Amino acid sequence: MKEIKKISEQIDAELEDAEKYLKCAYKHKEDNPILADMYYDLSVAEMGHVTILHEASVKLINDY
């Protein structure tokens, strides 16, 4: 299904973004904790998007 493939690609993109944000959080952990916390929160938000997309793909698969 095209929809599942698209969602899979979007999940990959969200995971990449989450990883980028975590790397930024780690980079700023010592010198700027406020910035590190912001990047950590952004990473958590991206993982929330992954969960939403995954649930949608599971529903599409189950419905299929």
Percent of the chain surpassing pLDDT 70: 100
Mean pLDDT of all residues in the chain?
97
**Mean pLDDT of all residues in 35-48:** 98
Percent of the chain surpassing pLDDT 90: 97
pLDDT given at position 53? 98
Two tokens at 62? 């189950």
pLDDT given at position 48? 98
